């Protein structure tokens, strides 16, 4: 137990979960009803905790962002930044028009624009605990690889039996790091169209400068619409399709919210790290963050240099650069937040309190599991640093997907790896198509060469052997450049959309005969990759087994304190609650809860990202507030902050009042407290776009009546 006891440094009581902390599963809400009531909730808690009753049955996922139905004709509200790639970027190429600058407003159903292939709306239909089914037979496994395969087979069988038609997609999600599993069935809407996106001067006002910052004045909202066939089946885009009749939708509050009002968010947060062991957190803070920030910063610089002075290339990589910038600023904020809130000191104390509890009352199995888990963690962390700059070529990645798909097709469908079964074919086709508006060969080569030059710095014994040999990474850099230049000079079928898609039907024999340098390359590294995958699968099985025991121990510890724990975010529907309120983060500096239209004018410099168009400036100057003036601020509120607990993936989540009415959209957090992904900070604030600003933009700025009339507005 030496490694186990090594981490016992200082014993202090663990911090309790504060009232507004937590991204809770809806079914957990009755357990914390007292805290929810204390925050001001006056509704029916059982109704609000049921995925299949209003308002939660109006909440949907876009597969990375959250959204909600806001009319009975399939109208959907989400964030502007959630629709940039698959809707604005795609249609900008299709229409040969910069929709980011102009915005987009469909004046009729016939003008609503299609999405990029693969864009979807997911509506949760069922959620069932399947822990026993997933782990069935694992006790009889002969090895960790065998155990991994048993779990995967069980998962695939559950999914196969769940997907009763092509309209449904099922998945098995692990909760509490694999302590429990749920089978989630979702209806897929395959025809989703762009209805409204404001110009970027509204939708991303402030740009990267204001990202993660407050006070904020961003109209981060957009509207989509779900379509189905005339017989109400989910079908791909067709002019014959009709708007989806969404029986469950949110009413829009014209009254909005005021300071201290109860609010809650329902959405699909991506990932948090609050159930990590202390050594995992320590690694991220001391090593992971800094290395990732450097990776992102250099990536931004490379993509910008490769696309400058070329509008077509810049448009294709706009989303990639924006994504890198977003995470660069976030991780930079986490570095500062970890220092400012003494994250390591607090988490070390919490960890030691837990270890003291386990040492006194835990079983030998629990103690061994923690030892094993820490050993696995050290190995994974070391590899993550070594592999940070591995890869980077979209063409090699595409060739790898095609080759793996051909390899998996040699097996019965039930034995194929997830991602390469018959159910995944449509997704693979759409991936091939997406390169049309997200890829440029010269830019791709430049990114790849930069990454290779950085990967060369990794000790040769820690690099991938066949990969390094083929790319001559141990030779002078000029040799590597020559190899890559020759590969990219080849007239590869991968550069043509139709040929790429056709290659999905190629057999393994066909690809083994190919002279395409990218296919040849992935064929040469395939065996090494499969060996690494085998090792990782065994490690994954061992990690899940020990993490499950750790979580049970942690749950027992919290129970001794009369507390409950909530699972880390994992892309499933969650609810968080709290109040509209300002915050003081620095001495003497208080952030008020609301910003107004006048703040937009005050920030205006006439230069992007603080460039306001003349029409909006005049409306603000003339105090054209319509019916959306909020007397307490003397104007139309633009953004507001609350103490709600969110993370990435919550983007586009609807903010609800105590009656379940739509009062805004969550779209960002504050940089100072972004470390809350690891530990909830009481000063954490979520930034929302106010429902009144959305309505003002449509009615007063756009002079639209079609969409306003479609919504149900309440006071």
For 151, residues 6+ apart whose C-beta sits below 8 A from its C-beta are: 134, 135, 138, 541, 544
Q: Distance between CA 165 and CA 260 in Å, rounded?
A: 46
Q: Determine, yes or no, domain membership for 9.
A: no
DSSP string, 651-671: TTPEEE-TTS-EEEEEEEE-G
- Other CB atoms within 10 Å distance of the CB of residue 602: 13
Structure tokens at 385: 């640093």
Q: Determine, yes or no, domain membership for 419.
A: yes
Structure tokens at 479: 């040799």
220 is catalytic: yes
635 is catalytic: no
**24 DSSP assignment:** B
Q: Which listed residue (20, 35, 220, 516) is catalytic?
A: 220
Predicted confidence at residue 6, as pLDDT, reads 34
Q: Which listed residue (246, 253, 642, 651) is catalytic?
A: 651
**Domain interval for residue 516:** 364-564
651 is catalytic: yes
Q: Determine, yes or no, domain membership for 420.
A: yes
Distances (CA, A) of 150 to 142, 184, 352: 11, 20, 35
Predicted confidence at residue 9, as pLDDT, reads 32
Task: Give per-residue pLDDT as tens, 159-187.
Answer: 999 999 999 999 999 999 889 999 999 99
Closest CA to 575 of 21, 137, 1, 191: 21
Q: Which listed residue (35, 81, 86, 653) is catalytic?
A: 81
Task: Give per-residue pLDDT as tens, 548-575.
Answer: 999 999 999 989 988 878 889 999 999 9
Predicted confidence at residue 504, as pLDDT, reads 98
CB 66 within 8 A of CB 72: no
Residue 189's φ and ψ, nearest 5 degrees, are -95, 115
What does pTM read for this prediction? 0.92
Q: Determine, yes or no, domain membership for 530.
A: yes
- Expressed in angstroms, the distance from the first to the final Cα of the chain is 62
Q: Determine, yes or no, domain membership for 682.
A: no
Q: Determine, yes or no, domain membership for 460.
A: yes
Please count the structural domains in the chain: 1
154-179 burial: b if 16+ Cβ within 10 Å, else e: bbbebbeebeeeebbbbbbbbbbbbb
Q: Determine, yes or no, domain membership for 641.
A: no
Q: Distance between CA 466 and CA 448 in Å, rounded?
A: 17
Q: Distance between CA 279 and CA 589 in Å, rounded?
A: 35
Residue ranges of the chain with per-residue pLDDT less than 50: 1-19
CB 441 within 8 A of CB 488: yes
Q: Determine, yes or no, domain membership for 445.
A: yes
Predicted confidence at residue 20, as pLDDT, reads 62
Predicted confidence at residue 520, as pLDDT, reads 98
Residue 73's φ and ψ, nearest 5 degrees, are -115, 30
């Amino acid at each position: 137990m030496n490694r186990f006891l090594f981490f016992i440094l200082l014993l202090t009581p663990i911090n309790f979960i504060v009232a507004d902390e937590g991204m809770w599963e809806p079914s957990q809400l009755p357990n914390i009803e007292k805290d929810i009531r204390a925050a001001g909730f006056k509704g029916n808690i059982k109704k609000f905790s049921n995925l299949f009753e209003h308002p939660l049955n109006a909440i949907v996922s876009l597969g990375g962002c959250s959204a909600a139905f806001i009319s009975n004709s399939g109208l959907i509200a989400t964030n502007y930044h959630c629709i940039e790639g698959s809707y604005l970027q795609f249609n900008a190429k299709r229409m040969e028009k910069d929709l980011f600058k102009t915005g987009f407003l469909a004046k009729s159903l016939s003008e609503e624009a299609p999405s990029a292939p693969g864009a979807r709306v997911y509506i949760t239909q069922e959620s069932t605990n399947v822990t026993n089914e997933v782990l069935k037979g694992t006790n009889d496994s002969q090895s960790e690889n065998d155990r991994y395969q048993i779990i995967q087979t069980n998962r695939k069988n559950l999914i196969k039996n769940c997907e009763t038609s092509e309209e449904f997609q099922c998945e098995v999600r692990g909760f509490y790091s694999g302590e429990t599993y749920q089978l989630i069935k979702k209806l897929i809407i395959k025809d989703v169209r762009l209805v409204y996106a404001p110009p970027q001067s509204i939708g991303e006002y402030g740009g990267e400068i204001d990202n993660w910052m407050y006070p904020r004045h961003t109209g981060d909202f957009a509207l989509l619409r779900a379509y189905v066939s005339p017989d109400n089946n989910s079908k791909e885009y067709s002019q014959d399709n009709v708007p989806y009749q969404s029986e469950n939708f949110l009413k829009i509050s014209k009254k909005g919210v005021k300071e201290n009002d109860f609010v809650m968010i329902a959405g699909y947060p991506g990932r948090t790290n609050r159930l990590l062991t202390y050594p995992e957190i320590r690694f991220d803070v001391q090593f992971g963050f800094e290395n990732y920030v450097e990776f992102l910063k250099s990536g931004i610089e490379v993509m910008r240099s490769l696309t400058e002075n070329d509008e077509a290339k810049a448009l294709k990589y706009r989303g990639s650069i924006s994504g890198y910038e977003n995470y660069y600023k976030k991780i930079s904020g986490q570095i500062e937040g970890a220092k400012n809130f003494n994250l390591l000191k607090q988490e070390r104390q919490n960890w030691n309190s837990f270890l003291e509890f386990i040492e006194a009352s835990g079983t030998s199995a629990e103690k061994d599991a923690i030892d094993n888990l820490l050993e696995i963690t050290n190995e994974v962390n070391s590899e993550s640093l070594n592999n940070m700059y591995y890869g980077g070529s979209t063409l090699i990645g595409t060739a790898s997907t095609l080759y793996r798909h051909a390899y998996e097709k040699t097996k019965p469908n039930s034995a194929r790896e997830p991602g390469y079964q018959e159910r995944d074919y449509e997704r693979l086709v759409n991936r091939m198509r997406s390169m049309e508006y997200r890829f440029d060969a010269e830019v791709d080569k430049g990114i790849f060469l930069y990454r290779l030059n950085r990967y060369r710095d990794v000790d040769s014994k820690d690099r991938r052997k066949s990969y390094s040999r083929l790319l001559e990474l141990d030779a002078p850099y000029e040799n590597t450049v020559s190899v890559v230049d020759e590969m990219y000079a080849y007239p590869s079928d991968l550069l043509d959309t139709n040929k790429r898609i056709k290659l999905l039907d190629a057999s393994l024999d066909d690809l083994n005969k190919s002279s395409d340098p990218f296919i040849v390359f992935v064929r040469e590294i395939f065996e090494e990759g499969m060996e690494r995958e085998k090792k990782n699968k065994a490690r994954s099985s061992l990690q899940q087994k020990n993490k499950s025991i750790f979580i049970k121990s942690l749950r027992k510890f919290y129970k001794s304190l009369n507390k409950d724990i909530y699972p880390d975010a994992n892309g499933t529907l969650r609810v968080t609650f709290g109040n509209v309120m300002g915050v003081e983060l620095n001495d003497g500096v208080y952030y008020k809860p609301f910003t107004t239209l006048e703040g937009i004018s005050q920030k205006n410099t006439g230069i992007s990202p603080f460039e306001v168009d003349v029409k909006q400036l005049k409306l603000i100057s003339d105090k054209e507030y319509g019916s959306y003036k909020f007397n307490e601020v003397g104007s139309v509120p633009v953004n507001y902050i609350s103490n709600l607990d969110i993370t990435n993936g919550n983007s586009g989540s609807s903010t609800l009042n105590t009656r379940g009415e739509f009062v805004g959209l969550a779209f960002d957090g504050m940089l100072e407290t972004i470390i809350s992904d690891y530990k909830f900070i009481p000063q954490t604030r979520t930034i929302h776009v106010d429902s009144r600003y959305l309505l003002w933009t449509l009615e007063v700025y756009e002079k639209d009546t079609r969409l306003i009339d479609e919504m149900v507005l309440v006071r």
